[in-house]
Amino acid sequence: CRIQRCNAEYVASTSPSSGLQEDAALDVDYCIALRAYALCTRRQARSCRGDLVYHSAVFRIKELFSQHNCSSDGPTSSAKVPSTSRPAVSELCDYENRVLMSGSAGQQKKYAHCGLFGD
Amino acid sequence: PHLRTFRDEFQTCKVEGAWPLIDNRFLSVQVTNVPVVLGSSATATSKITVIFKSYHGCTDQKVYQATTDDLPLAFQDGTRSGGESGSLTIVERGGSGVGRQVKIQARYIGTSIIVRRVGSYLTFAIRMPEDTLDFSEDNGGLQLCLHGCPRNELIKEHTLGRQSQQPRVQGTSTELGPLRPPHQVYTVERATAKCRETLQVEDVYFQSCVFDLLTTGDPEFSMAAYGALEDLKALPPSKLKQNSPRTPRLSNRGVSHAAAAAA
């Protein structure tokens, strides 16, 4: 169970030094960070089934979505998004751009293929 | 149909009726497969439905549906794109490709889809970033692209061998899919020659081609295998794992033996 890692990433992405504040209601960047946190916890669902910290995080995330009026669908980012250079919608709606913005440009993104054909 | 999963596993399945290929928070893909010949459990795809789920600020929910009779160049609402920045678009693929092809580009999730109509059936290919897939997702395990086909839906060599005792009769009922003229009977040698003509490299796609010709006698299926290989090249996984000739990494290893038995 790696819920602590999710917590740490979320704290890092919402810390004052990242340019984000939890009380910045309706902040697009904050919602991105929150969605990333939610995604990270979802991925731990199986391994953290019996972990209290995990269940607390799930509960808290639900509350935060509601408090900040964040939609659960939308872009996520696993890294800091500086609010001073907020990206345009067209950039946020481009996966490749988001990868570049999240600072993992040097790290090649992996793609998977699925195909169905014939009889 | 033949399935190449996100994990690069290769399977041949029955999966008759409607089955989910993908179902996550970004999109759902469902296919409908119908039997192609009497006396065989082999099926082919007659309908594909893709639901692009609403993605805040980028696109509203859009539904794309293709059938054997209709491969539209638009979503069900008549539009060809979603979102202001063109983050979801449909284009027709041209060139020297096999059959009619439609490519759907979902830039906001880094995903591309190719749907083809080859002969009387459809083929499907998708490329998605691995970080948008959740392999640990536990929703009944029914996502063929993620987890492959359930065991009891796999077509295995022993099953084929037993079925091969019965002569294959071409389906003529609409219940079995589109009406098709009777096809020729292929021997292993003729099927192999035909597939070699189309595919050249003897990999899993080649073996699928031989299997399909022996099962149906329909030469269009060799073009479906060729199209699927072209789609793999157009939408490659990061680490392209092409199998070396005659040493396939098949889940249903030994398709060629099964095909020979069927003949």
Rounded Cα distance between B195 and B184, Å, is 15
Q: Is A52 on the interface with B (CB under 8 A)?
A: no
Three-state SS at B151: helix
Q: How many CB pairs under 8 A join A and B?
A: 164
How close, in Å, is residue B5 to chain A by CA atoms?
5
Tell how far CA B130 is from the center of its chain: 20
Q: Is A73 on the interface with B (CB under 8 A)?
A: yes
Q: Is A90 on the interface with B (CB under 8 A)?
A: yes
Helix locations, A44-105, DSSP H: 52-67, 89-92, 95-101
pLDDT digit string (tens) for chain B, length 263 residues: 999 999 999 999 999 999 999 999 899 999 999 999 888 888 999 999 999 999 988 999 999 999 999 999 999 999 999 877 789 999 998 755 677 899 999 999 999 999 999 999 999 999 999 988 877 665 556 899 999 999 999 987 534 433 443 434 444 443 444 445 446 788 999 999 999 999 989 999 999 999 999 989 999 999 999 999 999 999 999 854 444 444 334 333 344 444 433 33
**What was the pLDDT predicted at A24?**
43
Side-by-side strand order, sheet with B121-129: B10-12, B2-4, A111-117, B121-129, B111-118, B100-106, B88-93, B81-82
A115 contact residues in B (CB cutoff 8 A): 2-4, 123-126, 228, 231-232
How close, in Å, is residue A16 to chain B by CA atoms?
25
B4 contact residues in A (CB cutoff 8 A): 113-116
How close, in Å, is residue B82 to chain A by CA atoms?
11
| pLDDT tens-digit map of A66-105 | 888 888 887 776 444 444 455 566 678 889 888 777 765 5
Contact A95 B107 (CB under 8 A): yes
Contact B21 A114 (CB under 8 A): yes
**What was the pLDDT predicted at B9?**
94
Rounded Cα distance between B97 and A109, Å, is 28
Residues 6+ apart with CB under 8 A from A8: none
The answer to ipTM > 0.85 is no
**Residues B141 and B151 sit within 8 Å (Cβ to Cβ):** no
**What was the pLDDT predicted at B86?**
82
pLDDT of residue A22 exceeding 60, the answer is no
Contact B42 A119 (CB under 8 A): yes
For CA atoms B192, B197, B203, B206, the dihedral sign is: negative
Which residue of B25, B87, B225 is in closest CB contact with A117?
A: B225
